[in-house]
Chains A and B, each alone.
Chain A
Amino acid sequence: NAGVTQTPKFQVLKTGQSMTLQCAQDMNHEYMSWYRQDPGMGLRLIHYSVGAGITDQGEVPNGYNVSRSTTEDFPLRLLSAAPSQTSVYFCASSLFRETEAFFGQGTRLTVV
């Protein structure tokens, strides 16, 4: 099993550009989430999904879109990148709400 795979690992964007961060898991997990990690702030929830076709907003959803068309994939779209979106992004999955969380390796995004 590959676990949770995030791509790309690093990305530099210009302000206004759009891009998609990919997240895939091969563990048949129902729960998937996207977090951003900023210095001194801990991880904050962007969007999450409790199953295919179901998504919901987290703490900091503005500027991001998600969809969950399959159990395996949960892409995060930046619609128009802004410098405030410079951060490290983590995707996570778990089988159920109370089970162990598995994290991707992270995507370090810089918006200039």
Chain B
Amino acid sequence: KNEVEQSPQNLTAQEGEFITINCSYSVGISALHWLQQHPGGGIVSLFMLSSGKKKHGRLIATINIQEKHSSLHITASHPRDSAVYICAVSRPTAGNLIFGKGTKLSVKP
């Protein structure tokens, strides 16, 4: 079983829809990261959080430490949000990240 699981693997939405991507993890963490990767592009950090909720524009990330679960929400989705969204965790005793396999989001106009 992977230490970081994301769902869904693929997601197609219509422009304007509210989107939720889920991430569950099975290891102790010091922080959880949400990353974005556009086709053929690099990886950009969206959020890093260890508790509660963070908001940046139309993106909201939440984490429930007790349930070992995080969600990334996109409000009023737009075609430019089409990308792969990756959940990753950093562990207290290691300097590297453990990644989920990513969620490929396609937003249709």
Q: Which residues of chain B are near A103, meaning CB under 8 Å?
A: 35, 42-45
Q: Which residues of chain B are near A99, meaning CB under 8 Å?
A: 48
A105→B101 contact, CB < 8 A: no
The chain A residue with its CB closest to the CB of B91 is A97
Stretch from B18-26, B60-68, B72-80, B92-100 at the A interface: B92-100
Distance of A83 Cα from B103 Cα, bound (Å): 27
- Which one of B94, B96, B102 lies within 8 Å of A42 (CB-CB)? B102
The chain A residue with its CB closest to the CB of B45 is A100
Q: List A77-92 residues whose CB lies under 8 Å from chain B.
A: 90, 92
- Which one of B33, B42, B95 lies within 8 Å of A105 (CB-CB)? B42
Of the four ranges (under 10, 10 to 19, 20 to 34, 35 or more), the interface on chain B belongs to 20 to 34
Q: Which residues of chain B are near A98, meaning CB under 8 Å?
A: 30-31, 48, 50, 90
Contact with B along A12-56 (1 / 0, CB 8 A): 000000000000000000010101000011111100111000000
B42→A106 contact, CB < 8 A: yes
With known contacts A33-B95, A100-B48, A42–B101 Cβ distance under 8 A: yes
Of the four ranges (under 10, 10 to 19, 20 to 34, 35 or more), the interface on chain A belongs to 20 to 34
Distance of A41 Cα from B31 Cα, bound (Å): 22
29 contacts between A and B (CB under 8 A): A31-B95, A33-B95, A33-B96, A40-B101, A41-B101, A42-B100, A43-B88, A45-B97, A48-B96, A90-B42, A92-B43, A92-B97, A97-B30, A97-B90, A97-B92, A97-B94, A97-B95, A98-B48, A98-B50, A99-B48, A100-B33, A100-B45, A101-B33, A101-B35, A101-B45, A101-B90, A102-B45, A103-B35, A103-B42
